[in-house]
Structure 1
Amino acid sequence: MPVQDDFYYDDRYADDEEYAEDEYAEEEGFFADEEYEQYEDEERAEPEYIEPPDDEEEPPRRKVKRGRRALRWVVALVVIGLIGGGAWYGIDSFFGYDDFQGQGDSDVVIQIGQGDSTGAIGTELFNTGVVASAKAFVKASEDNTKVLGLQPGYYVMKTKMSGAAAVTQLTSPTARVGVLQVRAGTQLDDITQPDGTVTPGVFSLLAKASCANLNGQNTCVPVDDLRKEAATADLAALGVPGWATGPAGKSTDARRIEGLVAPGVYDVKPGWNAADLLGFVLKSSATKIQSAGLASSSQVQGLTPYEILTVASLIEREGVNTDFGKISRVIYNRLNDKMRLQLDSTVNYLLDKPVVTTTDADRQKPGVYNTYTFAGLPPTPIGSPSANAIQAALQPTAGDWVYFVKCEKNGLSCFAVTIEEHNQNKDLARQRGAY
Structure 2
Amino acid sequence: MGSTRNMQPKFRRRRQMAAALAIALVVLLVGTCAYVWYQRDVVAVRDYEGEGNGNVVMVRVSPGDSVDSLAEQLVEKDVVGSRRALMSAAERKDPELQAGYYPLQEQMSADKALEWLSSDDRRRGVVDIPNGLTLQDVKVVDGDNRKGIFTLVSEQTCQDEHTCVSVEDLQKAAAQTPPEQLEIADWALDKVNARGDDPKRIEGLISPGVHLFDPTSSPEEILKSLLKTSKEQYENTGLLSSAEKVGLSPYDMLVAASLVEREAPEGDFDKVARVILNRLDVNQKLEFDSTVNYDLSEVEVATTDEDRKRPTPWNTYAKEGLPDTPISSPGLQALHAIENPAEGDWLYFVTVDRDGRTVFNRDFDAHERAIEESRRNGVLDSNR
| CA distance in 2 between partners of 1:343 and 1:396 (Å) | 18
Of 102, 113, 116, 1:169 maps to 116
Q: Secondary structure at the match of 2:229?
A: helix
| CA distance in 1 between partners of 2:329 and 2:43 (Å) | 56
Q: Which has the higher helix share?
A: 2
Structure 2 residue 124 is the aligned partner of structure 1 residue 180: no
Contact 1:240 1:283 in 2 (8 A): yes
Equivalent residue, structure 1, for 2:19: none
Q: Deviations over 1:273-328 (max 9, x none)?
A: 01101111111110011012212772356422211211111111101341111101
Structure 1 length normalisation: TM-score? 0.73
Q: Deviations over 1:322-359 (max 9, x none)?
A: 11111011111111122111100000001111111112
Equivalent residue, structure 1, for 2:51: 103
Structure 2 residue 82 is the aligned partner of structure 1 residue 138: no
Contact 1:189 1:200 in 2 (8 A): yes
Equivalent residue, structure 2, for 1:350: 295
Contact 1:347 1:363 in 2 (8 A): yes
Equivalent residue, structure 2, for 1:273: 218
Q: How does 1:33-432 map to 2 (within 5 A)?
A: 97-106=45-54, 107-145=56-94, 147=95, 149-213=96-160, 217-252=161-196, 253-295=198-240, 298-299=243-244, 302-432=247-377
| CA distance in 2 between partners of 1:292 and 1:322 (Å) | 20
| CA distance in 2 between partners of 1:399 and 1:297 (Å) | 19
| CA distance in 1 between partners of 2:62 and 2:100 (Å) | 7
% identical aligned pairs: 37
Contact 2:43 2:81 in 1 (8 A): no
The 3 A distance-change label for structure 1 pair 412 and 202 is farther
Contact 2:104 2:116 in 1 (8 A): yes
Contact 2:81 2:109 in 1 (8 A): yes
Q: How does 1:25-36 map to 2 (within 5 A)?
A: none
| CA distance in 2 between partners of 1:109 and 1:167 (Å) | 14
| CA distance in 2 between partners of 1:278 and 1:95 (Å) | 40
| CA distance in 2 between partners of 1:331 and 1:198 (Å) | 29
| CA distance in 1 between partners of 2:200 and 2:44 (Å) | 59
Gaps of 5+ in 2: 1-39
Q: Secondary structure at the match of 1:142?
A: helix
Contact 1:263 1:386 in 2 (8 A): yes
**Bigger RCO (CA 8 Å, 6+ sep):** 2
The 3 A distance-change label for structure 1 pair 94 and 342 is closer
| CA distance in 2 between partners of 1:95 and 1:338 (Å) | 73
Q: Which amino acid aligns with 1:241?
A: A
Contact 1:137 1:164 in 2 (8 A): yes
Contact 2:98 2:118 in 1 (8 A): no
Gaps of 5+ in 1: 1-91
Q: Deviations over 1:378-400 (max 9, x none)?
A: 11111111122112112211101
| CA distance in 1 between partners of 2:241 and 2:219 (Å) | 27
Contact 2:264 2:272 in 1 (8 A): yes
CA RMSD of aligned residues (A): 2.2
Contact 1:178 1:211 in 2 (8 A): no
Q: 1:430 offset after TM fit, Å?
A: 3.5
Contact 1:210 1:268 in 2 (8 A): no
| CA distance in 1 between partners of 2:181 and 2:111 (Å) | 43
| CA distance in 2 between partners of 1:297 and 1:172 (Å) | 42
Q: Which amino acid aligns with 1:206?
A: V
Q: 1:141 offset after TM fit, Å?
A: 2.3
Q: Which amino acid aligns with 1:198?
A: N
Count of residues in correspondence between the two structures: 339
Q: Deviations over 1:392-418 (max 9, x none)?
A: 112211101111112243444221121
| CA distance in 2 between partners of 1:390 and 1:310 (Å) | 10
Q: Which amino acid aligns with 2:174?
A: A
Q: Which amino acid aligns with 1:125?
A: L
